[in-house]
């Protein structure tokens, strides 16, 4: 009887440890992706095109508001750099906040897709506040997450709710 109890306790401990390890790995991935959004925000707030560029894979696809597709980082970072330089020159301030509605991970946890909204604000010589819906695809390589696809289009202002919680899916 004592042996059976000890075996059951050990099995329970192993089971709980396995669950905990799965959850912590998921949480670490979520945290790393969430940090990309914070760095993106910082790149706009500080008009830092180099930080912006570092968030994307070399082969990233950036679907631009005008309908064009930036095929590869080298094809869309220059326009972002020009935009951020213009903001800096005018002394305007930028902010961008993200609202993730759903996050999906691939089975092997090397790809994630976020669906949600963002609020873009510009203050200074030109005032602007726009909400967009977005789909972002991230890839994990060598333990680091980076943007692979960044796609957005206009959305109604009321869709952005800054206190919205993130729902994560597996």
- Render pLDDT for 119-132 as a digit per residue (tens, 0 to 9): 999 999 889 999 99
Q: What is the domain range of residue 78?
A: 2-169
Write the CATH number for 135: 3.10.450.50
Q: What is the structure's pLDDT at 126?
A: 84
CA dist 119 and 86 (Å) reads 20
Say how many domains are in the chain. 1
124 Cβ partners below 8 Å, 6+ apart? 87, 90, 91, 92, 93
Predicted pLDDT of residue 43: 96
pLDDT for 86-113, tens place per residue?
999 999 999 999 999 999 999 999 999 9
pLDDT of residue 109: 94
Give residue-wise pLDDT tens across range 34-49: 999 999 999 999 999 9
Q: Please state the rounded mean pLDDT for residues 164-169.
A: 48
pLDDT above 80 for 1: no
pTM above 0.85, yes or no: no
- pLDDT above 90: residue 114: yes
CB atoms within 10 A of CB 47: 19
């Amino acid at each position: 009887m004592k042996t059976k109890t000890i075996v059951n306790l050990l099995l329970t401990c192993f089971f709980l440890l396995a669950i905990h390890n799965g959850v912590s790995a998921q949480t670490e991935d979520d945290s790393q992706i969430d940090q990309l959004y914070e760095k993106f925000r910082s790149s706009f707030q500080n008009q830092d095109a180099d930080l912006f560029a570092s968030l994307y894979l070399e082969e990233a696809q950036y679907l631009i508001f005008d309908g064009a597709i930036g095929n590869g980082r080298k094809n869309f970072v220059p326009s972002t750099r020009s935009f951020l330089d213009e903001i800096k020159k005018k002394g305007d301030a930028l902010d961008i906040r993200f609202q993730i509605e759903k996050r999906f991970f691939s089975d092997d946890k090397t790809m994630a897709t976020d669906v949600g909204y963002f609020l873009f604000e510009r203050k200074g010589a030109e005032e602007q506040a726009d909400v967009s819906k977005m789909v972002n695809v991230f890839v994990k390589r060598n333990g680091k997450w980076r943007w692979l696809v960044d796609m957005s289009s206009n959305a109604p202002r009321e869709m952005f709710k800054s206190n919205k919680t993130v729902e994560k899916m597996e």
